[in-house]
Amino acid sequence: MARIAYLVSSAKEIVLAGGSRHPTGYFAEEAVKPYERFTAAGHDVVVVTPDGVPPTADPYGLEHFFHYPEEDQDFFASVIRTFHHDPDDIRVTLHQNTELGLVAARRVVERLVGRNLAPAAAHDLVSRAARIAWLQDRQLVDVMVAEGLDGGLTRADLQDAVDELDEAARALASERHRRLRGFEGFGNPVALSGLDDGQLASFDAVFAPGGHGPMVDLADNPDVRRLLRSLHDRGAPIAALCHGPALLLAAPDRDDGQWMFDGYRMTCFTDEEEDQTVPGRLGLPWYVDTALKNAGAVFDDGPSAWASHVVVDRELITGQNPNSTEATADALLKALAA
């Protein structure tokens, strides 16, 4: 059994480039799934914040479209693969993933099969409609009706599938937030600032979920610097997800004057993805992607935005975005098992 420092930002707001303040915190999905995976595997998970203040869920991360059920996301991926063979052909955006009703594809297919259409034929019909919607930036329901791809379903039937998905996503967002509030460590975290070097040495790994919070209180934190030094010197796993890799910017320099992670391959939430978020459009003071590159990272992003992508280099494990949550957590579990 390993002892994992579950390092969560306690920031509640971030100062934007223009000087205004915007609410922030940790992303619920990125916090709940790894925590439950680690505890289920029998590891001792110690929730730590920089100052011992209980962390706050980022309101943006509780939006329903960040919580589509797994079965709907997986089915949507199977639809995308029918026409999205080359990432350069069709650009992946958050808008297309969340605002065109495309993730309702599984529920539309269920309704088509209920009308006695064969599953493969239903999948093909929805895939053809999804391709048009994706390329022309149109709602899936509108395309299926206007292009004669409804398979006998009415507009009301199709819209019901979209509404059903949204309702399920909102329920899942609320459930995840409830579960997080029930984790004892989130209500009473350990203060990283209060741990001496001997206590830091008791950790076998660190995991940092994202949300914009890490940009506020992890990126230039002397206690994070001590923790990273302790783990790095022992070759212990250092894992971070989405904006979580901002903590790597706190790492000390090596004896040769170079950043501790200079030359390491890594990933994080990319500038392209950031530009599509609400805080990104409002104007952030800096971007994690650019900052890591400037520090000396060999940046390794996925073939397209919003796709799951995890990079492992020596003891360092980094995940690109919220869709990389499970894979990043599993990579840490594999490292600990090794």
CATH number for the domain harbouring residue 12: 3.40.50.880
183 part of a folded domain: no
**Do 169 and 198 belong together in one domain?**
no
How much is the pTM? 0.94
- The mean pLDDT of 210-218, rounded to a whole number, is 98
Nearest alpha carbon to residue 177 among 292, 24, 29, 36? 29
Q: Please tell me whether residue 64 adopts helix, strand or coil conformation.
A: helix
The pLDDT value recorded for residue 84 is 78
- Domain-ending residue, one of 147, 174, 201: 174
184 part of a folded domain: no
Cβ neighbors of 274 (< 8 A, separation 6 or more) are 280, 284, 287, 288, 289
Question: pLDDT per residue over 135-175, tens digit each?
Answer: 999 999 999 999 999 999 999 999 999 999 999 999 999 99
Continuous segment of H or E residues that includes residue 313? strand 310-313
**Do 170 and 196 belong together in one domain?**
no
**Do 38 and 137 belong together in one domain?**
no
Q: Please tell me whether residue 18 adopts helix, strand or coil conformation.
A: coil
231 part of a folded domain: yes
**Do 144 and 219 belong together in one domain?**
no
**Do 50 and 194 belong together in one domain?**
yes
243 part of a folded domain: yes
137 part of a folded domain: yes
CA atoms within 13 Å, Cβ hemisphere of 55: 40
247 part of a folded domain: yes
**Do 221 and 261 belong together in one domain?**
yes
- The mean pLDDT of 247-274, rounded to a whole number, is 96
181 part of a folded domain: no
Cα(26)–Cα(48) distance, integer angstroms: 13
Q: How confident is the model at residue 85 (pLDDT cuts 50, 70, 90)?
A: confident
| Tally of structural domains, the chain | 2
Burial 291-313 (b: 16+ CB within 10 A, else e): bbeebebebbbbebbbbbbbbbb
- Domain-ending residue, one of 128, 145, 174: 174
**Do 151 and 245 belong together in one domain?**
no
180 part of a folded domain: no
**Do 96 and 158 belong together in one domain?**
yes
**Do 139 and 216 belong together in one domain?**
no
- Tokens representing residue 137 in the block: 């930036």
**Do 236 and 214 belong together in one domain?**
yes
Q: How confident is the model at residue 89 (pLDDT cuts 50, 70, 90)?
A: low
Identify the domain containing residue 298 by its residue range: 3-55+189-337
- Report how far Cα 278 is from the mean position of its chain's Cα atoms: 15
The pLDDT value recorded for residue 303 is 86
Question: pLDDT per residue over 171-207, tens digit each?
Answer: 999 999 999 999 989 999 999 999 999 999 999 999 9
**Do 321 and 206 belong together in one domain?**
yes
**Do 104 and 201 belong together in one domain?**
no
